[in-house]
Structure 1
């Protein structure tokens, strides 16, 4: 499951989603995700795709995601977070900016979480599905 901050552009969200998912995958054994082979001889590929659905929810602001992160930590639900401080010229710059990041000055772009539905449902009940109209309503200006 992913919860993205609709305050950001689609390109920033996609970048954050990719990094968030990669981070979550590295913290668990690959078998956790139950990858299944999807063969496509026509395209000449075999893709490994998780058996579990990926649902993308939206948040209207970072404060909602900050609260979600606290709930996930308290419930010990596997999660990973992408903060806007993780955008920058180099990995070293991003790490330094993230070390100094704080709510109010920085915003969460994406939270990824993984767990049993009954465990995660209470934490995500206030979020709605991310829709195409969310991306289209983006005003083109991210504020920092």
Structure 2
């Protein structure tokens, strides 16, 4: 399920099957790190879209939580988002390539290293995405098996 009116309609009819929300976390900057920041965002966006495609009917993909790279309070925002969404979803998970969120204390952030996509062939991108999706699926299976 995606963040669209049509999918929300389906979600409202199928809530008992959709117990997991995935929120991509992207940073923005105006500094010289712009290209690497955009590259990370592009990677996470494509990974989460593919994850949603493969798990349609089990997960709900929210729009990205976007923050300014110099924001020292992003962890507090994650806590707020998680509290808000736990009323509706059993599992609230964030997906990011942001190093500052790599060491998440409550284990709701899945950190994956970004790979620059701009020079990769479509075939190589597909293989890379499939490898990453398999790793994320293993993590999701661990979350789901605990419940």
TM over 0.5, yes or no? no
**Structure with more relative contact order (C-alpha pairs < 8 Å, separation 6 or more):** 1
TM-score by length of 1: 0.32
Greater Rg over alpha carbons, structure: 1
TM-score by length of 2: 0.32
Higher strand share: 1
